Structure 1
Amino acid sequence: MLAPFGEDIWVADGPVTSVAGFHYPTRMVVIRLEGGALFLWSPTRISDELRAEVEALGQVRYLIAPNSLHHLFLAEWRGAYPAARLYAAPGLRQRRKDLAFDRDLGDAPPAEWAEEIDQVLMRGNLITTEVVFFHRKSGTAIFTDLIQHFDRAWFTGWRALVARLDLMTAGEPQVPRKFRNAFVGRRHARAALQRILAWPTRRVLMAHAPPVETDGQAFIARTFRWLSG
């Protein structure tokens, strides 16, 4: 279930969820920090098998909600690991008042993982403020919803047309048009993009697109050309 993606980083794909009738696959990323603490990005549905594989890697310490849309399974993991710290992207506390978050995610990584993982907020978007991460050891940038790519056969009927117009089924991963149009604060987004492009990214992981395993920095620059121009 857990597949290695580089040194001390693993990926697990979870069940398909539905939003307004659009089906989305789920994906989580596990990063093992120095000392064995585990950083769980966008945890997917927990199961006995997944839990056993995760625990074989180290101790679950940090549960990360990278934007206000990725929160469906947080309560399951918090219940399984009550000592783990729960981190919220901007806006999520208001949406999930049932969860007791320990800390909000900001533009600077907290001391707990600052030596190994960098992060930046993509501000100025009306849909959600996404926290983009960079795992230094594996050279992996991690995006949530800002970059997406689906096979053209994934959606059917009128949803297939909407997905095509939204660039969700374009020839290569793209920032969907709905997210592009929602960036009303582009100055802040461009500043964040400059920080992201300064990372020595080799690989890119996304929640809703196949991984990019080479030339990650060039891929990000190409994908966000519309914003940087």
Structure 2
Amino acid sequence: MPSKLVPTNPEEVMVIRDVTPNVVTLSVPFARFGKVPIGGRATIVRLTSGALAIFSPVALTLTVRAKLSSLGNNVRYLIAPDIEHHLFLSEWKSAFPDAKLIGPEGLPEKRAKAHAAGSEMIGNEEFDAIVTRENYLNVLGEFGEDFATDFDMEYVSAHPNRELVFYFRPDRVLIQADLFFNLPATEQYSRVPESEKPSPGLLTRMFTSLQTPGSGNPLGMKRFMWYLVSNSRGDREAFNESVRRIGEWDFEVVVPCHGETVVQGGKELFERVFEWHLKAAREKGKF
């Protein structure tokens, strides 16, 4: 994987943060297209059972290993929440061979193709559970009983990246990958020397403007989500329904893969970003 996409020195630039008593984030720099600084983030969740679930794994550094040990080191679930956030699954599976691999439909085939093409990062590991449009309402039991006890999940199949969105009920935390961004990626680039940060060119400014909810009415982001993202698979109605179901969860914290974690007011932010989708879903339900 090109160094422009994945940091060559993750130990030096990673930010490890205790977001709640049971949720830890691992934030790293990541540049989309090798130029746009959107950041990357893994999330560690300690379940009520004591087992650990890892979402969107990033580099397994010595400091990360120490953090896992402090949490009990019982890594039971490795989860790719969409078809993009999977690059480090093989590294983690090698370190924790008994952990279950979980991801959305289409990802095993994508990884198999990359492995066959000679990828050094992507192995040929089998998945223990694949989420599909047909099974997603009852597939949590295949993950594990303790996982199903603590989590709700929505499969946003209409999203271009086939998003799995999770709600960790004990700490009221929404965990998502690319459902929506919260740029700029301040925390994720906070340990990167100024001289090594991507320059804020035109592409960066344009993309960031469409992925920054801010504190007011995020009109540009709402248009981006409505006209581009939610209709990319030609099924905006299904996207709206997924957003409606997520909106029924009682979350306070939102952990995105790209941009800032929202520790307070996460539900309100979600409702502002997806206002048009929530309204469309409610109006459809009236008839």
Aligned equivalent of 1:132 = 165
Q: Percent identity?
A: 27
Aligned equivalent of 1:168 = 211
| Secondary structure, aligned partner of 1:96 | helix
Larger Rg: 2
Q: Which structure carries more relative contact order (alpha carbon 8 Å, separation 6+)?
A: 2
Question: 46-55 or 129-138: which moved more?
Answer: 46-55
What letter is aligned with 1:145? D
Alignment gaps of 5+ in structure 1:
none
Residue of structure 2 aligned with 1:64, choices 79, 83, 90: 79
Within 5 A, what are the aligned runs for 1:29-178?
29-58=43-72, 59-97=74-112, 98-105=124-131, 106-108=136-138, 110-111=140-141, 112=144, 113-125=147-159, 127-151=160-184, 156-164=200-208, 167-169=210-212, 171=214, 174=221, 176-177=224-225, 178=228
Work out whether residues 36 and 204 of structure 2, in 8 Å CA contact, stay in contact via their aligned partners in 1.
no
Alignment gaps of 5+ in structure 2:
1-14, 113-123, 186-196, 280-287
Q: Which has the higher helix share?
A: 2
Work out whether residues 15 and 45 of structure 1, in 8 Å CA contact, stay in contact via their aligned partners in 2.
no
| Secondary structure, aligned partner of 1:29 | strand
Give per-residue Cα distances to partners, 1:65-122, cap 9 Å, x unaligned: 0000101111110111111111012221111113321111334452321110110111
Q: CA RMSD in A?
A: 2.4
C-alpha distance in structure 2 between counterparts of 1:3 and 1:164, whole Å: 24
Work out whether residues 28 and 39 of structure 2, in 8 Å CA contact, stay in contact via their aligned partners in 1.
yes
C-alpha distance in structure 1 between counterparts of 2:208 and 2:21, whole Å: 36
C-alpha distance in structure 1 between counterparts of 2:182 and 2:49, whole Å: 35
Distance 1:205 1:170, change over 3 A: closer
C-alpha distance in structure 1 between counterparts of 2:277 and 2:247, whole Å: 13
TM (norm. structure 2) is 0.71
TM (norm. structure 1) is 0.88
Work out whether residues 45 and 73 of structure 1, in 8 Å CA contact, stay in contact via their aligned partners in 2.
yes
Aligned equivalent of 2:40 = 26
Number of equivalenced pairs: 227
Aligned equivalent of 1:212 = 262
